[in-house]
Amino acid sequence: MSIIDAALSANATIADGFDPARGQPPAPKIAIVTCADPRLSNIERMLGLAEGDVDMIRNFGTVIDDDAVRSLVLSTRLLGTREIMIINHTDCGMLRFTDGEMEDRLRKATGQTPLAPARFYSFTDVEENTREQMQKARSHPWIAPEVPVRGFVYDVKTGRLSEVFADGEQPAERMVVTHFIVSDDVERSRRFYTEVLGGTVVFGPEPTNIALANSFIIINVGGGPTDDKPTVTLETPRDPDRVSSFVNIRVADIHAVYAEWIARGAQFLTPPKQHEYEIRCYIRDPDGYIIEVGQTTNPQGDWWPAGWPPIEPGRVRTLAP
């Protein structure tokens, strides 16, 4: 007898004791994305959550792909879940192969090269992968920013969860500072921030969200007032020589960066100039925004001017050349 046939006949008996109350419309409170691995089944029990409180979204590898996003959007917007947990786990099967190996194997076995799936989402570092999935869910414009997205690794040997924090994110302060720029040509701007400055697109194209070093640059077209800023119009600089705010990129070796970025087409205003505590120069991005690029030259690392209040050791990041 096939497993399905056995399950069907078991169901006929088990359903005799079914509680009709379980057929009520659901009112889940939390969405959980986790792996299809059987060791993650009934994870809600390990979390002390009632079955009915959880929208469980499962796939191989705990991936925030198009389909997981679709479920998260509907779960939070239609069913009213208020928090999102992404639960990866140790010993995941997706750590055991690369996408390329799997594709080769399947191509050899079947002689076919289909269009889908475009990716298997294998990974090598479970925490890093969790961070990537958190970022994809957090940056999606249809998942409301007030819905917390937190990531975890479930240890299959102990049943314990450990939380994964985004790079630079402090456990106590769940906040990330990003920089928003208005662009007349988002695609041109995307090329500059990825191909010249070396950022990575984590979401796009509307808005385009680029991970750059420890922060994010969000690029979008301008536009008229919205109900939350009724007198404000977003536009690119009218006069690129009058500036009131700019991105400041600190680098470990400004001469290397200068040569590299010039070769990739960056428009510097001047070559790097030595100032008291730093060597610096400025770039103009394709929309005319100024970007400072600086290297701190104090041998102790990032300088702290005399007379400023002392800060805790370890809070100033030193860029090792």
User: What residues line the site for Zn ion (CB under 5 A)?
Assistant: 35, 37, 92
User: What minimum distance in Å lies between the beta carbon of 16 and Zn ion?
Assistant: 35
Beta carbon nearer to Zn ion, 92 or 251: 92
Q: From edge to edge, which strands make up the β-sheet containing 208-212?
A: 178-182, 215-220, 208-212, 200-203
Q: Is residue 236 within 8 Å of 182, Cβ to Cβ?
A: yes
* Residue 127 dihedral angles phi and psi, to the nearest 5°: -70, -45
Residue 102 gets which letter from DSSP?
Answer: H
Nearer to Zn ion by Cβ, of 80 and 117: the residue is 117
DSSP three-state, residue 295: strand
Give CA 73 to chain center in angstroms: 16
Apex 165 CA angle, 164 and 166, nearest 5: 125
> Distance between CA atoms of 302 and 218, rounded to whole angstroms?
27
Residue 65 or 253 with smaller CB distance to Zn ion: 65
CB of 312 to Zn ion, least distance (A): 39
How many residues would you count in the chain? 321
CB of 254 to Zn ion, least distance (A): 43
Q: How many CB atoms lie within 10 A of CB 247?
A: 18
Its sign, for the CA torsion 204, 83, 148, 163, is negative
Distance CA 147, CA 143 (A): 7
User: Is the Cβ of residue 37 or residue 285 nearer to Zn ion in the bound state?
Assistant: 37
Strands 273-274 and 278-284: antiparallel
Q: Least distance (Å) from Zn ion to the CB of residue 89?
A: 6
Q: Smallest distance, Å, CB 61 to Zn ion?
A: 6
Minimum CB distance to Zn ion smaller for 137 or for 219: 137
Pick 37 or 55: Cβ nearer Zn ion: 37
Q: How far is the CB of 263 from Zn ion (least distance, A)?
A: 42
Q: How many CA atoms lie within 13 A of 201 on its CB side?
A: 15
Among residues 237, 251, 214, 244, the alpha carbon closest in space to that of 289 is found at 237
- Note if the bond before 205 is cis, omega within 30 degrees: yes
CB of residue 110 to Zn ion, shortest distance in Å: 24
The pair of three-digit structure tokens given for residue 85, joined into one six-digit string: 């947990």
Q: Which is nearer to Zn ion, 38 or 171 (CB)?
A: 38
Q: How far is the CB of 30 from Zn ion (least distance, A)?
A: 20
Q: Is the CB of 62 or the CB of 220 nearer to Zn ion?
A: 62
User: How far is C-alpha 265 from the chain's CA centre?
Assistant: 28
